[in-house]
Amino acid sequence: MDGLDNLFSAPTRRDVLRWGVACGAAGALCPTGVGIALGQDVAAPNTLPGLRLKGLARHEAMFWEKLDENKVKCVLCPRECEVADVERGYCGVRENHEGKYQTLVYGALCSANVDPIEKKPLFHYLPGTTAFSVATAGCNIECKFCQNWQISQFRPEQVESVLVEPERLIATAQARSAPTIAYTYSEPVIFYEYVHDTAALARQQGIGSVMISNGYIQEKPLRELCRHLTGVKVDFKAFSEKFYEETCAGKLKPVLATLETLKDIGIWFELVILLIPTLNDSPDEIKQMSEWIVQHLGPDVPMHFTRFHPTYRINNLPSTPVGTLERARQIALDAGVRYAYAGNVPTHPGENTYCHQCKVPLIRRTGFRVESNRIRDGKCPDCATPIPGVWSAEQALAFKPREKAAAPQTAGQPS
Amino acid sequence: MSTFSTRRQFLAQMGAAAAAGAVLPTGPWLDAAQGEAPERSSRVIIARDDALAGGSVDEHGELLRKLLDASMQRLSGAQDAAAAWRRWFKPTDRVGIKVNTLGHTTQPAVVDAVVAGLRQADVPAENIIIWDRFDSELDKAGFKLNRSASGVKCYGTDAEEVGSGYQSNVETSGEIGSCYSRIIAEQIDALISVPVLKDHSLAGVSLGMKNFYGAIHNPNKYHDRNCDPYVVDVVSHRFVRPRWRLTVCDATRGQCHGGPMKNPGYAWPFGGLIIGTDFVAVDAVGADLLDGERKNRGLKLLADDKRPTNHIATAGARGLGVADLSRIERIEL
Ligand code: SF4
């Protein structure tokens, strides 16, 4: 608990060194990124172990409907849980209290770190800066390979948390010179109200907000939230309903719909695909996924292929071979994706950003560390091709969502 | 005293009892020691008394003890209550009594009767733990918390100062992946489930089996498909099935609709207990009784109300007990 408490007090000189607050100011090197091998957005190092009961941070929930007999229906995510009095929805952080739906995690942060934005990973969003990264307990799906299951798969009273009001979080991010707050590690959709209120307030105070999400959200709340966000990363688990159902207790179609909505809104977003040997790494599936992305989202949405490591409920499979990531990256590039990355392989050339036009290296990375960045005014300095992304804080904060298109697009047919 | 030092002795006595026309007792601890599911009698006792249906349940402590003891004798075929309790419990047992303290809750007086029975089997008070998820919910339901070393213990999984909390490793059982309460995983070796006779908005009923959703850290993940087969997966685990010796369903104040929350409009003063060693059979009988009451009141049957009690049939199909009502011997006292 000390770790979190300290994090939300004024930073000392020691804190500055510890949390790498100077990263943003220096514009390049970030000490927290050095030597970290994991490509996933793992909640570390101050994720708190243990399961101590803490009070719940109750707050009226958004996006729910009243049903008969004091029941409610949550319409925040595609599960649409119907919840009787005193019961909770699937995510475990929303509870029916006498016919009114409440979130139990408004500001109940169980994890907070100053991370390089590359750790999210967002490679085309203010590279070399930091994101003040926070999470509450809970998730609305259950990936059997979740790296953060000790917070995502627990109820709020089972993890140690501190109560941090939006204003305090924003002030802390400012004090740490982080231009961005990242809602991450577990699943921001399930702490929606907190993200919503904080992101709206942060924007007014010159701080952007990025959501690192599974994309399991309904269209209406997503559009509302994107009024305040400045970027999104979606974990695109696979391109098959079978994988989503059997390995994630979710469904693919709603995620495809979310991606199309994000495209329609016009917000900057990137995709991460964690490749798990034998489960979602077949060349055919990656090809279909890449083609769907190019066709429905366009060629400029970056794809990050990252490594799986045995954890949680999948312990019988090996870590993903580097060759699998390289092959997936090439398949995506061949399908027309302009920015495909092999993530989580420090010093691998597949971690760098290359101009899609003239192919020169633009951003060189080692793990989460940005070694050099040649992009100028959002363009390749050699051939002047615009490089898609968010390259300045001003650009991030100036984002305004497009109005909803008249006819909604339809999702493709996954395998 | 009827304890069995060897499996052969146990079986011999069972054979003698069968020959004498008595109900076959089961000796779960013998099987539990080997990690196997115990053989169970599919006899279910419904013990009712009109007096129990009126007034406060707390006033009827003596009556509850009598009803429970008589039921145990009927289950076991033993001559006296102490002998009956000894058929299933021995002095070295550490017994966990899992109560239901969410919404419409287990009555403490019923649990007192269970404790009195265990004491007749010479189970030391210190070896008995009354438990559920939270201290706060136990307290609210009227249980007296006791985390001290003496007397019957009573605390929630959240009471970490007495070494509970959840285990840190994920246990897989069928489709579920959960961390079990350290109370059930580490602190006991015999289980009694003391649920309430009530319906449930998703599972159809919340009886002996569903009660063990309170033993895992993530019950919210297992509400789809009317909790089927997840309830069965939870109780099939080695922490539950081989240790579960008895179900005493608190039917003093049933509720046929609006559960799991307390809903006075559907209160059903059944005035009784439903008891058995086959936990599937007890749940099957409980669900049948609830449906009967729903029918009497013009309510839809649970299956027609989009909450079929499929988990009970699944438990039967998987051999955890008898779900087929025609094969359950229902005895009313
Ligand atoms: S956000 Fe939670 S409660 Fe709401 S529908 Fe999704 S899983 Fe259910």
Q: Which CATH number applies to A114-134+144-397: 3.40.50.150, 3.40.50.300, 3.20.20.70, 3.30.70.330?
A: 3.20.20.70
Cβ <8 Å between A51 and B166: yes
**SS3 for A295?**
helix
Helices (H), A176-306: 192-204, 219-226, 241-248, 252-265, 283-297
DSSP string computed for A122-167: -SSBSTT-EEEEEE-S--SS--TT-TTHHHHTS-GGGS--EE--HH
Q: Which residues of chain B carry a pLDDT beneath 50?
A: 1-39
Estimate to the nearest angstrom the gap between the alpha carbon of A357 and the chain centroid. 28
For residue B223, the chain A residue with the least C-alpha distance is: A90
B215: DSSP letter? G
Distance A334 CA to ligand 1 centre (A): 38
Tell me the per-residue pLDDT of A300-327, one tens digit each, with 9 for 90 and over: 999 999 999 999 999 999 999 999 999 9
Tell me the per-residue pLDDT of A171-215, one tens digit each, with 9 for 90 and over: 999 999 999 999 999 999 999 999 999 999 999 999 999 999 999
Distance between CA A265 and CA A260 in Å, rounded?
Answer: 9
Q: Are B135 and B155 in contact (CB under 8 A)?
A: yes
Cβ <8 Å between B260 and A89: no
Confidence class for position A43, pLDDT limits 50, 70, 90: low
| pLDDT confidence of residue B35 | 42
Q: Is A322 exposed, middle or buried (0-12, 13-18, 19+ CB in 10 A)?
A: middle
Confidence class for position A6, pLDDT limits 50, 70, 90: low
Q: Which residues of B183-209 are buried (b: 16+ CB within 10 A; e: fewer)?
A: bbbebbbbbbbbbbbbbbbbbbbbbbb
Chain B residues in contact with A52 (beta carbon < 8 A): 160, 165
Estimate to the nearest angstrom the gap between the alpha carbon of A345 and the chain centroid. 20
When computed from its CA atoms, the radius of gyration of chain A, rounded to whole angstroms, is 20
Cβ <8 Å between A88 and B134: no
Q: Is B137 exposed, middle or buried (0-12, 13-18, 19+ CB in 10 A)?
A: buried
Distance between CA B148 and CA B162 in Å, rounded?
Answer: 9
| pLDDT confidence of residue B160 | 75
pTM of the predicted model as reported, rounded to 2 decimal places: 0.86
For residue B158, the chain A residue with the least C-alpha distance is: A53
Helix (H), strand (E) at residue B284: helix B279-296
Helices (H), A20-161: 22-26, 149-152
Q: Is A347 exposed, middle or buried (0-12, 13-18, 19+ CB in 10 A)?
A: exposed
Distance A76 CA to ligand 1 centre (A): 6
Tell me the per-residue pLDDT of B307-316, one tens digit each, with 9 for 90 and over: 999 999 999 9
| pLDDT confidence of residue A54 | 58
| pLDDT confidence of residue A160 | 86
Cα–Cα nearest to B262, from B136, B105, B132:
B105
Tell me the per-residue pLDDT of A380-415, one tens digit each, with 9 for 90 and over: 999 999 999 999 999 999 999 998 766 545 444 444
| pLDDT confidence of residue A197 | 98
A142 touches chain B (CB under 8 A): yes
Chain B residues in contact with A90 (beta carbon < 8 A): 220-221, 223-224
| pLDDT confidence of residue A52 | 41
Chain A residues in contact with B258 (beta carbon < 8 A): 69
DSSP string computed for A364-379: EEETTEEEEE--BTTB
Computed from CA positions of residues A238, A241, A243, A244, in that sequence, does the dihedral angle turn out positive or negative? Answer: positive
For residue A249, the chain B residue with the least C-alpha distance is: B221
Please provide the average confidence, as pLDDT, over all residues in chain A.
Answer: 88
Tell me the per-residue pLDDT of A113-165, one tens digit each, with 9 for 90 and over: 999 999 999 999 999 999 999 999 999 999 999 999 999 999 998 888 989 99
Q: Which residue has the tokens 């009660």?
A: B211
Cβ <8 Å between B158 and A69: no
- The CB of A80 under 6 Å from ligand 1? The reply is yes
β-sheet with A64-66: strand ranges across: A64-66, A72-74, A82-83
Nearest-CB residue to A158 (from B217, B224, B259): B217
Domain regions of chain A by residue span: 4-103, 114-134+144-397
User: Which numbered atom of ligand 1 lies nearest the CA of A75?
Assistant: 5
ipTM > 0.85? no
Tell me the per-residue pLDDT of A63-116, one tens digit each, with 9 for 90 and over: 999 999 899 999 999 999 999 998 999 999 999 999 999 999 999 999 999 999
CATH topology of domain B43-332: Rossmann fold (3.40.50)
Domain regions of chain B by residue span: 43-332
Cβ <8 Å between B261 and A144: no
List, in order, residues 6 or more apart from B107 with CB less than 8 Å away.
B57, B58, B142, B250, B252, B253
**SS3 for A214?**
coil
Confidence class for position A8, pLDDT limits 50, 70, 90: low
Give the dihedral of Cα atoms B4, B9, B10, B15; nearest 10 deg.
Answer: -150
- Please work out, in degrees rounded to the nearest 5, the angle formed at the alpha carbon of residue A153 by the alpha carbons of A147 and A157: 130
Percent of chain A whose predicted confidence (pLDDT) is above 90: 80
| pLDDT confidence of residue A4 | 61
